[in-house]
Structure 1
């Protein structure tokens, strides 16, 4: 990411995972908040699970758990966006940021030298949480486009590997939350 970001020549940079598919309406919807208010530094989309074709019973069970995870996340993000303007984490599955934020030298340094537990350990594990914390600590507003026109489809593991993914998300979140509360001391 830090190799590509300096090459961007557009005012908005969009990150998207390789397993995400977009409807043709996503771009106008993800760009709209930036046009509405210059305080918005990042915009994230609603995410739904792309179902497997002809899934086995086991895949259906794992798919159901994945769909529940995404739906809970959509609800959480939409609620916090519209209640107090915050977001727990801007998911990198499909997210847009103002390019000048990402190209800031301070951002690049902090992003590539992220530390955890009061500087004892180098983290560099999770761009989603880091960039979300950066937005909050630098006064940028964030927004979730919760609308069918801004809905992307993604995949999740449909086997026991899903549990490993959940464990990774959990570790990343508690590290990020502790960093927010006790080191950076910026809580949305």
Structure 2
């Protein structure tokens, strides 16, 4: 099982739904009922922020930049919460754009590296996964992929289907599947068949 998947597999709700799916349903019910939405956002934030950071790291963002872009997206989500119909997709799209702006404005300076040491004693569950040797190897392999393949892999690892990814990225489903296939082939070669 993939390290990130393993991190989130215990987060299952009743009736076989994931926490994210439950939050999506809860958000839709809350938005349509015009009920106070702050507790729903707080739950969404708590569950999705770490996942959003990992999503950005898979797209090539260093941990610190991923945290900044994720926080920026969450602040914007809080402001627009009642208007957002698909929060998981929305924050990932906004965070990806924030990462793109940061990348465009700063290029790839030396201080943006993923190998910044973290204090292991104070590390939370996300940091422990990000620090694991297996996860570092996976990130290094993914970051060697072309940008579109990294992007498609990040959305796929986050549980989105090819048709959803195609719609989000504005490309065809066939393009998504082709990029996914090429990325997996490259990763299998890079990682000695383990994917």
More strand by share: 1
What is the TM-score of this pair, normalised by structure 1? Answer: 0.28
More helix by share: 2
What is the TM-score of this pair, normalised by structure 2? Answer: 0.28
